Homo-oligomer: A and B are copies of this chain.
Amino acid sequence: MDRRQEILEAAAKSFSLFGYKATTMDQVAKIANVGKGTIYTFFANKEELFNAVVVKMINEMRTEADAAAVEGASFEKNAHARLMQMLKFRETHQLYAKLVDEEREIRTPAVSEVLEAIEKEIVSYIREKIEKAIRKGELKQCDTELIAYLLFKAYLALVVDWGKTHDAELTEKRIVELLSGTVFNSLLL
């Protein structure tokens, strides 16, 4: 089997289990059943290996977000489904969850950078969908960059942050009612 692939999978396993900092190159080599030196013939260093693993994860997330949308459904319904899916992915997917954790309690630069990149990716993904809906005539012209950013931050706040400072999570119904009445409604043509 492809050596590069085996290394990638081994790395994904280790990063998922132990996080970035606690994963050692020896560890990865052992899991992948290769010598440590072999890793460096495919990846320049630990951080590049990490980035490659994360890129793969981002693609999985995108795929799952797309799967959450329903052909023919309204922009609001699909945008909601997509965002909820990605936020669920964020706390369900072993690697993503681990990285969020690591970011909270240690401060590893490589992890911060990667998390930032993921968020940028999500925002630009949302933006794509908005622009597509505008082209289709479902939404009115607007500042798509800012709207995408606002949507993402709003969902992050309502789904993730709220629970940290209140004793109960917000129900999805309450979130939908709030955003449907405010942001989403204002986007309609």
List residues of chain A with CB under 8 Å of any chain B CB: 116, 119-120, 142-143, 146-147, 149-150, 153-154, 157-158, 161-162, 165, 170, 174, 177-178, 181-183, 185-187
Contacts and interface: CB of A to CB of B under 8 A. Distances in A.
Nearest to A152: B157
A142 B181 contact: yes
A165 B183 CA distance: 23
Nearest to A123: B165
A183 B120 CA distance: 23
Contacts of A174: 143, 146
Given A143-B178, A150-B154, 8 more contacts: A116-B165, A146-B170, A146-B174, A150-B158, A153-B153, A154-B154, A182-B182, A185-B186
What are the 6 tightest A-B residue pairs by CB atom distance, in nearest-first order? Answer: A153-B157, A182-B186, A182-B183, A146-B178, A181-B186, A185-B186
A112 to B, nearest CB: 11
Nearest to A146: B178
Contact of A150 (B142, B165, B182): B182
A147 B186 CA distance: 15
5 contacts: A120-B165, A143-B174, A146-B178, A153-B153, A182-B182
A152 to B, nearest CB: 9
A67 to B, nearest CB: 28
Contacts of A185: 186
A153 B183 CA distance: 14
A186 to B, nearest CB: 4
A185 B140 CA distance: 15
